[in-house]
Amino acid sequence: MDTEKKTEMCANQLKPAYPTHPGEILKEEIEYRGISQRKLAEQMGMQYSVLNEILNAHRPLTEKTALLFEAALGIEAEPLMRLQLKYNMQTARKDQSFMEKLAQVRKIAAML
């Protein structure tokens, strides 16, 4: 087995089959705590529709919304933002047309 394959099999190198949006984690947490989305949105000073879109992975978590979740739920903003970044990167890597563009850029850069 070559080194590349061994690296892919290491537990700390495994990539999930699909990216996890931080909203999914937050949604599970507020459901576990028995907090209604409407009440949380009101407490955080945001529209219910915006909160719902974040929790259903239809809108990205921003630095400001991460800080609002931190204030409202006591969940640190930085790990949420790291999760959003990983989600964004995995989603970009699954975009075939973008990956083709990257390959073309790398090909041109290698010729320089």
Per-residue model confidence as pLDDT tens digits over 52-87? 999 999 999 999 999 999 999 999 999 999 999 999
CA distances from 59 to 37, 67, 69, 77, 90 (A): 15, 16, 15, 16, 16
- The predicted model scores a pTM of 0.79
The domain spans of the chain are 13-111
pLDDT for 70 = 98
pLDDT band at 7 (very low <50, low <70, confident <90, very high): very low
Displacement of CA 77 from its chain's centroid (Å): 12
Q: Assign domain 13-111 to its CATH architecture.
A: Orthogonal Bundle (1.10)
According to DSSP, residue 58 is labeled S
